[in-house]
Amino acid sequence: MATAAGQADDPIGGTNPAYVRHLLSAGRVVVAELAGTVVGYGAVQQIGAGQDAIAMLCDLFVDPASHGRGLGRAMLADLWAAAGPRMTFSSLHSHAIPLYTSFGLDAWWPLLYLHGPVAALPIMSGLRRSGVAPGVAARYEALWTGADRQADLLAWAAKPGGETILLSRDDEVVAAGAVLNSGPDRGITHLAISPAADEATAIGVVLLALAQLEGPEPGGCVSLPAPHPAVRALLAAGWRFDEFDLFMATEPGLLDPRRSVPSPAQA
């Protein structure tokens, strides 16, 4: 279905068996059928626990030949049957935003898919990067956000070129997350930044994580909320974006656009 919907070139999307297996184990996946043939699928993953848990819509695809039959709405009604906070990154497809709005979400800001050279990115004095086990990165993120992302960090680190990292300033850990050191999506996969970090540090950790990617490849990529302070620094360094999605959520504060560096599929 992801291929039919134009996602064949997305190595971290629905055409990647490892990603689908992770959704099946860590989230919930449904399919839509017509005459015994699967023509669509959707997936959600819960971020956090209890009444504050966020139902993150990771994927929702319908074969274009079956559009207009209400299949996307039916799958979403199943996936989002429970009340509570909801969010997703919506494409600009004409059907997507009206559908999500009807489930109580509003569009808050663009998520920019930035790419560019990493070698000349400035590094803030006092910042350092270190590779760690996924569980270590997960403990810091849980401390800052209350969400246990260990299963996601394990899956991200298991990708070819994947690594979980900490970023510290003057021996204080200020960010934790995952990167890909090789391949077409070489760059930051997901990064949680301490709420105590000032704006300069929020910029610095993004630039350092990109500048110190391993391997000889010259370029990198990162998905950043448009209001994130690192966007301006990357654009000034010659980075560009060719596309963007929209952050849609039942509440604007489910992600902090000036500190979040989310995975587009799993936030």
Exposed, middle or buried: residue 109 (CB in 10 Å: 0-12, 13-18, 19+)? Answer: middle
Whether residue 213 is contained in a domain is answered as yes
Percent of the chain with pLDDT over 90: 83
Q: How confident is the model at residue 16 (pLDDT cuts 50, 70, 90)?
A: confident
| pLDDT over 90 at 123, yes or no | yes
pLDDT of res. 3? 52
Calculate mean pLDDT across residues 35-39.
90
How confident is the model over 164-184, as pLDDT tens digits?
A: 999 999 889 999 999 999 999
Name the average pLDDT for the chain: 93
Q: Considering the entire predicted model, what is its pTM?
A: 0.91
CATH code at position 158? 3.40.630
| pLDDT over 60 at 9, yes or no | no
Q: How many CB atoms lie within 10 A of CB 239?
A: 23
Whether residue 157 is contained in a domain is answered as yes
Domain hosting residue 129, numbered range:
114-241
Please report which helix (H) or strand (E) contains residue 168, including its range: strand 162-169
Whether residue 145 is contained in a domain is answered as yes
Whether residue 80 is contained in a domain is answered as no
Q: How many domains does the chain have?
A: 1
Cβ–Cβ < 8 Å for 176, 141: yes
How confident is the model over 54-78, as pLDDT tens digits?
A: 999 999 999 998 888 889 999 999 9
Helices (H), the chain: 17-26, 71-79, 96-102, 134-145, 150-157, 199-211, 229-236
Q: CA 62, CA 102: separation in Å to the nearest integer? A: 18
| pLDDT over 90 at 99, yes or no | yes
Q: How confident is the model at residue 36 (pLDDT cuts 50, 70, 90)?
A: confident
